[in-house]
Structure 1
């Protein structure tokens, strides 16, 4: 079997740049468009940016941790990288598609591999109505915001907001409120991954809300619709002992 062509993509940190230099000296330089596998050096933010960058030309991605957060990353080791890649376990990731209409009725679209979040823009709490597949499920949620997370993103912002951790193959999405004031006891929902979720913002002038899909923010939205985009698939590679499903399972038993 021929050795795969590897492209190394580093984050902005000094540690990541030094790792890139060492790896290219050992394994050579390949442009990412010509590579068979992309090796990303940094933290979770770096690998998310690369995932967005290669949506139209998807290639397997193997991350190595050289940053501050590395849930999606493998340990860094310069040695025997082709063997690690040949034994790596694959995880298939689908993004969320966010369609947000601003105060002028203009629709903008963005993709999210981690989560879509709606957040209040001022000191006033947000007022949101929630519709699932066209049915009103919550007429008014007063809150700081709400998160809709993928399984891969369920251990990120969603977990910090006390949302559930989702197994990768469970076929569900997490809907998690941020500091819900009313109804105070509502803790969110777990939805089928095919669900269409629509958020309608009330009292928009008094209580403006922004919508963010990973890194893309749209301000002063009037309504936001979120669905899984199953037509887009990216492959993440993990060492067998640290694959994403195992990490998600392990995270649920952390103290």
Structure 2
């Protein structure tokens, strides 16, 4: 970031984040998001995702610098520092993040399109196991998967829901996606796949009336889906800012050595 830039601020609705925002406003002249060169996000990873989606929805994406006033804060920076906020942002290292684009078709024939920064998940809606057909680039790779669901995770999201479902951690810059089943029943030994990020994936729900499935793109959910397509939206670029030595890239790499 240049040494002189206009900043906007978006705190989460927690008391900690709001109090921190009030303190920052005493020393920083923030501007509306539409006029800003960078966005300061106060909260946790969930709030960061909310802010990134808000910018995508508005059609104007600027670099986002997060301060952790949440729980994990994997996508955030440490909240306290001896350096002023403007100096921290000027010294910050940018990291490009490319979202997924999900196109889903419901039982009524309605087509919905959402973006996901972490993952797209297909999940069973009832006690009935989901039954899915999985294709890659139009070729059926798995005719039937009985499971609670399946997810497609980006490197940025590979340490979130994907990791809890025993999916692989993907380093930033790997140009790969994790395709991870959730509680697979048949075939028992299939544990997922690692897919190049220029491939497209298609999912067809088998017996959708008997075995209804919902799809979730980060925080947006759509029920009664019959078909889902997922690809990387290379034309959409998000940018996160991190203090030197504490980037998301380093955190994801280090996570592979935690046990």
TM (norm. structure 2) is: 0.96
Match of 1:202 in 2: 206
Match of 1:85 in 2: 89
| Unaligned runs of at least 5 residues, structure 2 | none
Q: Using the alignment, how far apart are the partners of 2:84 and 2:3 within structure 1?
A: 15
Give the C-alpha shift of residue 2 in structure 1.
4.6
Matches within 5 A, 1:27-46: 27-46=28-47
SS in 1 for 2:121: strand
Match of 2:248 in 1: 244
Q: Using the alignment, how far apart are the partners of 1:201 and 1:31 within structure 2?
A: 43
Q: Using the alignment, how far apart are the partners of 2:37 and 2:110 within structure 1?
A: 39
Q: Using the alignment, how far apart are the partners of 1:248 and 1:2 within structure 2?
A: 29
Q: Using the alignment, how far apart are the partners of 2:243 and 2:3 within structure 1?
A: 20
Q: Using the alignment, how far apart are the partners of 1:175 and 1:53 within structure 2?
A: 26
Instruction: Decide whether the 8 Å contact of 1:5 with 1:36 is kept in 2.
Output: yes
Q: Using the alignment, how far apart are the partners of 1:95 and 1:241 within structure 2?
A: 24
Identify the range of structure 1 (83-92 vs 207-216) with the bigger mean alpha-carbon deviation: 83-92
Give the C-alpha shift of residue 36 in structure 1.
1.1
Instruction: Decide whether the 8 Å contact of 1:10 with 1:16 is kept in 2.
Output: yes
1:189 to 179, 186, 193: 193
CA RMSD of aligned residues (A): 1.0
Cα deviation digits, residues 54-96 of structure 1 (max 9, x gap): 1211100000000123100000026412221122111111111
Q: Using the alignment, how far apart are the partners of 1:75 and 1:131 within structure 2?
A: 41
Instruction: Decide whether the 8 Å contact of 1:8 with 1:23 is kept in 2.
Output: no
Q: Does 1:68 align with 2:71?
A: yes
Match of 1:8 in 2: 9
Instruction: Decide whether the 8 Å contact of 2:202 with 2:229 is kept in 1.
Output: yes
Match of 1:94 in 2: 98
| Unaligned runs of at least 5 residues, structure 1 | none
SS in 1 for 2:5: coil
Give the C-alpha shift of residue 29 in structure 1.
2.7
Q: Structure 1 stretches (4+) deviating beyond 6 angstroms? A: none
Q: Does 1:157 align with 2:161?
A: yes
Q: Would you say how many aligned residue pairs link Structure 1 and Structure 2? A: 255
Give the C-alpha shift of residue 104 in structure 1.
1.4
Match of 2:223 in 1: 219
Cα deviation digits, residues 91-129 of structure 1 (max 9, x gap): 111111100000012111100011000000000100000
Give the C-alpha shift of residue 188 in structure 1.
0.3
TM (norm. structure 1) is: 0.98
Instruction: Decide whether the 8 Å contact of 2:134 with 2:202 is kept in 1.
Output: yes
